[in-house]
Amino acid sequence: MNKRKKIREKLSFASAALLQMTSASATETPDETWDMSSAILFYNESDGRVSAIEPVISGTKELKNGDIINLKAVFDSLTGATPTGAHASSTDQTFTNPSGKKSYTVTAGELPLDDTFLDTRVALSGSWNSAVFDNYSRLILSGNLSKEFDYSSLGVSANFLRDFNNRNTTFNAALGLSSDSIEPSGGIPTAFANMKVAGTGTNRDATDDSKTITDFIFGVTQVINRSTLMQFNLGVSESSGYLTDPYKIITLIDPVNGLPIATSGDDLPYLYENRPDSRSRQTFFWKTVHHLNEDIINISYRYHTDDWGIDSHTIDFHYRYELGNGSYLQPHLRYYSQNAADFFTTSLADGQALPEFASADYRLGDFITSTIGIKYATPAGKNSEFSVRAEIISQTQNEVNTPVGDQANHDLTPDLDSFIIQLGYDFYFEQ
């Protein structure tokens, strides 16, 4: 669920708004044709963790009146093993799966992973880009629907764009609303309740829950000169409802030796996490595209901050190097860093008062991610293009808490490497 969202952060509302703005002025599809894009992405994490396959197809058509429509369909399948939030220990650890019916054991010294991770998702989206008032204003209306076995999402957005200064300046204001339903396997867990021994209960009381997200984006795009285009966006996002991951847990340790506490009865030494039921985010985005004699430089910076205490910085760089005859190479570099959420912790100590909120989810931790990749594209016919993209992603986790006892013998926040291979095929489809 949330794991998928993190992998696909490139499909966030802010990015979608930027892409829509670009398509409003850059699409030059002839009448009576569909500009089609298709791709299949392969994603794989090291150490036998998550693997994903994601085919995508989208079509864009400019109507005779100048309106532009876009339709998109995404299907993805994820398998493998995902971290539970528990950390490695010098003792074997036994966990119960979300249904409460089965258990699995992790060998001493190994990072606890849930190897039953399996999910599929289908997502459909569409947009209508139309002139309003006059030829200097456009309105983009969008909608999307996605469904997976334990999660569904319905969203709508509106993006208003207005040209000024002989169309050299464009202001935009966007509003997005989404409503999500969470129906996890086994139900919603009780915050900070113990994981139970398989077959003795679940401490999962509610069957489902929901959340809503409201996004605002205000931006300006400016033509600097004949070769340079620059864009600035300010974004505000408000989330409310169930924002906890129902599958994540926190190890309850002995405050002296650092080992999972010895429990009695049906309780296991793992507590279900708890996050705030609201989140306010603010983002600043800057992007510059510069056209050289033939090549194109594309660089952007994004700053994010929220009331969970997370600040992040993202620098993204593309360089399109023309090879001639329509072929090109495009190297890609990306750097991302964030500090940990205020309530992030690797464990909780037995006998100490529970905090209001706590999570051991590494995605809320302190880490740096670097990406290096390259894309090659070449014409595959008169009206088509084939492309292949490869990227290597390295994530370095930083310790946030001081290890206690046995914890010092293990990497509580292990690093993660992954790679992406994507094959693409774009073409015109004449009606």
pLDDT above 50 for 291: yes
Predicted TM-score (pTM) of the model is 0.90
Q: Distance between the two ends of the chain, CA-based, in angstroms?
A: 38
Residue 122, domain extent: 2-430
Alpha-carbon distances, residue 212 vs 83, 216, 339, 361 (angstroms): 26, 14, 25, 21
4 Rama class: left (phi>0) / alpha (psi -120 to 50) / beta: alpha
Number of domains within the chain: 1
Question: pLDDT tens-digit profile of 238-253?
Answer: 999 999 999 999 999 9
User: In which band, very low, low, confident or very high, does the pLDDT at 431 lie, cut at 50, 70 and 90?
Assistant: low
Residues 257-274 as b or e (16 or more Cβ within 10 Å = b): ebbbbeeeeebbbbbbbb
CA-CA distance, 167 to 53, in Å (whole number)?
41
Does the pLDDT of residue 8 top 80, yes or no? no
What stretches of 224-330 show up as alpha helix (H) in DSSP? Answer: none
CA distances from 1 to 178, 341, 343, 419, 424 (A): 16, 20, 21, 20, 26
Comparing 172 with 201, the larger pLDDT belongs to 172
The CATH number given to whatever domain includes residue 359 is: 2.40.160.40
Q: Span 239-268, mean pLDDT? A: 95
Average pLDDT of the segment spanning 20-34:
49
385, 377 contact by CB (below 8 A): yes
Grouping H, G, I as helix, E, B as strand and the rest as coil, residue 133 is coil
Residue 134 has a pLDDT of 87
Q: Nearest Cα to 430, choosing from 30, 38, 39?
A: 30
pLDDT tens-digit series, residues 72-113: 999 999 999 999 999 999 999 999 998 899 999 999 999 999
d(CA 110, CA 45): 16
Please give the pLDDT value at position 32: 65
Distance (Å, whole) CA 156 – CA 161? 17
